[in-house]
A and B are shown apart, each in its own frame.
Chain A
Amino acid sequence: MDKLIKSSDIRKISSLDHEEIAKKSEAQFEYWGPTPAEARKRAVAKQKGLHDKRTTLKEAVAKHVRDGINLGIGGFVNTRVPIAIIHEIIRKGAKDLTLSFQSNSMCVELLAGAMILDPNHVSIKRVELAWWGYEVIGIAPLFRHLIANGMIQLDDYTNYGMSARFKAGAMGIPFIPTRDHGGSDMELVNRGKMIECPFSKENVYLLPASNPDVGIVHVPAADKHGNARLFGAHCTCPEIAVASTYTIMTAEQIISTDSIRRYPNLTEIPYPAVDAVVEQPFGAYPGACYGYYWFDMPEFLNFRSICDEFRKTGNKDKLKEYYDKYIFGCETFDDFLSTRPYNKLKELRQKDGGQPIIID
């Protein structure tokens, strides 16, 4: 279908090259991951009982993360980002990844850095996203580098768009109507479609569901079965966990199933959606986790400046040094955390300010 004659009647209001878009949009639509039907099949095939799913990150990542998968990344920008899982994925290696997320900073920069250092070990093929950056700290240097060199394929949505796509995936439906993207150039470049609503007869923008092969989330608290409680921002973690065909979850702490059963309303991710549970304190570090610790801004600045130096000079030495020391030189995320002074981690706990959480 020619995107230019879609019913929103979008006119040429930017300098975007419409001929190139017309060429690209002739491609047949494909889900960049499991189709909704495949995702359902994988859910149906699972054992559904309450089982102790606690494991190590090494085992969980070795079992589920493969070349060519669609990886759904939880958290939001610098908040509750699954950094510990990303470190393990980089240690293991995974090529031709499709990344799906709304907004992220360090998780995706870490994967990009690994690709720049050794594309035969980690590589990103394409990305469906809303935003890739560090907010107040600045732009993401490695993202800019990848795009300037045409190294990855992009599919741009809004933060709601990506969230709604995961929601559709979690609902078991093939698409979801939204009230954004239309009339912007995202309508021309992304894989959504404008249609006339059969009921209201008004235009409405449809987005394809997203069912990642593997979802990765870091949560404040979960029981050993994977029933998870979220505090502060839910981000899009419940949707990503349920939409994904396998979900790897790290938790600040494992809580009792008695507690889960005492307050079932507080369970935001139910256990059948979770395949591996790993207790990993500071699992979002240097990101923040409400009720546990605040951001480590100097660490974000440090990593970002190393990446920016590479972008500006092409010299990979410092980048390689960072990965060799903090990722490949560590067996586990705890080894990485051990490189941080106790006083630093204690200060981050204090900066959380005692946000109230329920874990009893």
Chain B
Amino acid sequence: MAEYGPFEMIAFTGSRVLEDETIVFVGTGLPIIASMHAQLTHAPNLNMIFEAGSFGAILEQGLPLSVGDTRAFRKAVFAKGLCAAFELTQRGYVDYAFIGGAQIDMYGNINSHFEGGTYWKTKTRFPGSGGAGAMAANCEKTIAIMALEKRRFVNKIDFVTSIGFGDGSADYRRKAGVMGSGPYRVITNQAVFGFDEESRRMMLLEVLPGKTAADIQELVSFELLISPDLREMKEPSDEDLRLLREECDPEGYFLKRKVAK
């Protein structure tokens, strides 16, 4: 088995989660790479929608560096603006959301607004919701890509940007008026999480080979549920790595980044 980097593992795992015959709403970076890999392997009829308004593009000019990148519109089947992209989503045509954030809680609520201070005078302000809040609300299933760190997997996030299962009550999303079914997977380079159907709490589904559930719990502030069917994360094959490195991100913009400490 060839050596692989943490971002290659995340992209490969993201790809595994996506099914064929679906539509995925992608953000910049790893979500696009994961979706391209899926198209080249098990999901040839998966299509990407970009919030700037591109649908079904063929990314032959290289990896878009922004969701509004002109390259994301290459040979698209439909190209409009933000309203069209989000309204197709609201209508029910988009199966997966790929989002990220600074903090996540056990019910999959995600913060990408700020940390510290009050809303009106924050210590560290992030860019804001962007598309994430709308994607988490109305794509059918939300996939989050997060760095697995205790300060990110927290008991209480500073601000709810992207709705998960709220406080975990069965009717939270319905009362919130959102349409999607909610959090589906949380992907990190060391573990994959899902959500328990009954309690809607985060559940450890897969760990990196060589890691244990206890190792992962160490990196999470809240108590994890552990799947009775806990598995090892599948590792990318030589061919998967070739596709990721040569076809999906040949310049290494996202896959070769260093992991932030």
Contact = CB atoms under 8 A, between A and B. Distances in A.
Contact of A294 (B70, B111, B119, B126): B70
Contacts of A143: 125, 127
Interface in B122-178: 122-134, 137-138, 156-163, 166-167, 169, 172-178
A64 interface: no
B81 A234 contact: yes
A158 B176 contact: no
A203 B172 CA distance: 11
A264 interface: no
Interface stretch (A55-63, A117-125, A131-139, A326-334): A131-139
Say which size band chain A's interface belongs to: 35 or more
B158 to A, nearest CB: 5
B163 A178 contact: no
Interface in A1-31: 7-11, 13-17, 20-21, 24
Contacts of B134: 158-161, 180
Interface stretch (B4-12, B59-67, B223-231): B59-67
Contact of A13 (B86, B160, B177): B160
A189 interface: yes
A257 interface: no
Contact of A148 (B72, B121, B161, B175): B121
B51 A159 contact: yes
A232 B72 CA distance: 9
Given A156-B129, A179-B137, A202-B174, A185 B113 contact: yes
B53 interface: yes
Given A136-B29, A148-B125, A234-B53, A16 B119 contact: yes
Contact of B68 (A78, A129, A239, A353): A78
Nearest to B122: A147
A295 interface: yes
A268 B158 CA distance: 41
Contacts of B172: 11, 183
Nearest to A161: B134
B70 A232 contact: yes
Interface of B: 28-29, 51-54, 61, 65-74, 79-84, 86-87, 89-90, 105, 107, 109, 111, 113-114, 117-134, 137-138, 156-163, 166-167, 169, 172-179, 253
